[in-house]
Amino acid sequence: MGVIQNILAVIVVLGVLITFHEFGHFWVARRCGVKVLRFSVGFGSPFWSRYDKHGTEFALAAIPLGGYVKMLDEREGPVDPSEQHLAFNRQSVWKRIAIVSAGPLANFLLAIVAYWLIFVVGTTTAAPVVGNVAPDSPAARAGLEPGREIVAIQNDPVRSWEDINLKLVAAIGLSGDLSVATQASGGAAREYRLPVENWMVGQDPPRPLASLGITPWQPDYPAVIDQIMEGEAAAQAGLESGDRIVEVNGEPIDDWMAFVERIRQNPGQQLEIEIARNGERLNRTLTPGSRRLDDGDTIGYIGAGVAPVPWPEEYRREIRYGPVAAVGQAFARTGEMSLLTLDAIRKMIQGLISPSNLSGPITIARVAGESARSGFESFVGFMAYLSISLGVLNLLPIPVLDGGHLIYYLVEVVRGRPVSEQAQALGLRVGLVLVGGLMMMALYFDLMRLW
């Protein structure tokens, strides 16, 4: 069922993003007087199509990894003299710039709308309170104390762990002091300077909080099982919902995280556990399965979930804005995520971020499915971020992408004449090699994560 949900989720996400992107090109082309021959979502032969009154074919194709808008163009075939004024290549350079830019801009607009919706609906999140500080970590050396709420990173205000992670990822490669402002309940704010050197350079995958030695606060979870996945180790051992884990190999278990840690440390190893069930003490033999993480480590898992524990009200934060205020917040978040994406590309080129962080269709499908199962906010937020990534990547100055065409047109503005067809053909071949290479790398790292 999980695989089917992942496939459906990625079809919905990519379908929406591709449709918005291509509709941007289509809508502006129509208003610039260009005849559109085909609007296709997907590549390959269409399995469904229809024509509108303007003669444009709207099509759905079998390969849902892209799309295109085909416009009348004399460079692609003969054009009837009566329609030459409708050809893309006959338009002014400024109209061509507008048409090409419209696709990525549509993706940014979609992200703004998605973030606006999230901010208006509102979310309840965990307060970013420090739960534990690892000894001899940057946080410990700076004197950061558990129980304090983080309110700013590098002088930028934060309201959630998501905000904090975004600010920390932007600081990858930093050497010096990382500023973390905190506030105790009812007390004054205090700034800590965490010493870092080439921070998280090459770390795969980046773990910002763990690298600083910070563990988020969370309530104590008793080691009581709630959900059991059919066919997994917990079910095979005869564990049931409501069982409380008392001991593992003779050692007492105080809470759920202690139990999880024992499971993670013993993949494939037989464990003798004692449980409490309906007032009785029972013994069971449990052999955790093995799961490989993205960084290559192997951990144990048993396919069981903990019984939920309500968070105290003082550790909950509601983030909600009115319809007008949410517009500014949506623009700000879209801008922040766009700059973060560009900065990540720059750091990847410089070698500060491992290229293994590239994601292809398999990872996108998995994350899309997980975010869909996590709820409305996660799914819409993931769609917004992916839309921004699509917009930014399409604006890169690579000839086969929209950004490459914009470079040609800007050169034409400066020179007063178009770039030669020979130069454009050479650029197209180089662009295809670059984009094809990136796609193969992303697919390779996808498969490595899968295995």
CA neighbor of 36 nearest in space, from 59, 52, 56, 66: 56
- Rounded CA-CA distance 248/261 in Å is 11
Strand, coil or helix: 14: helix
- Each as own residue / partner, the long-range contacts of residues 375-379 (CB below 8 Å, 24 or more positions apart, any chain) are 376/121, 377/118, 377/121, 377/123, 379/9
Burial class (CB in 10 A: 0-12, 13-18, 19+), 47: exposed
Tokens of 101: 């830019």
Encoded amino acid at 58, one letter: F
Among 393, 402, 380, 395, smallest CA distance to 111 is for: 380
Ramachandran region, residue 140 (left: φ > 0; alpha: ψ -120 to 50; beta: rest): alpha
Question: Residue holding tokens 């454009």?
Answer: 424
Which residue, 255, 248, 260, 250, is CA-closest to 224? 255
Name the residue among 1, 5, 52, 4 with its Cα closest to residue 369. Answer: 5
Q: Is 232 a catalytic residue?
A: no
Instruction: List the catalytic residue out of 22, 149, 230, 232.
Output: 22
Confirm if 294 and 302 have CB atoms less than 8 A apart.
Answer: no
Cis amide bond preceding 222, omega within 30:
no
Query: 115 and 166 in contact (C-beta within 8 Å)?
Result: no
DSSP state of 40: E
* Distance of alpha carbon 255 from alpha carbon 360, whole angstroms: 38
Catalytic center residues: 22
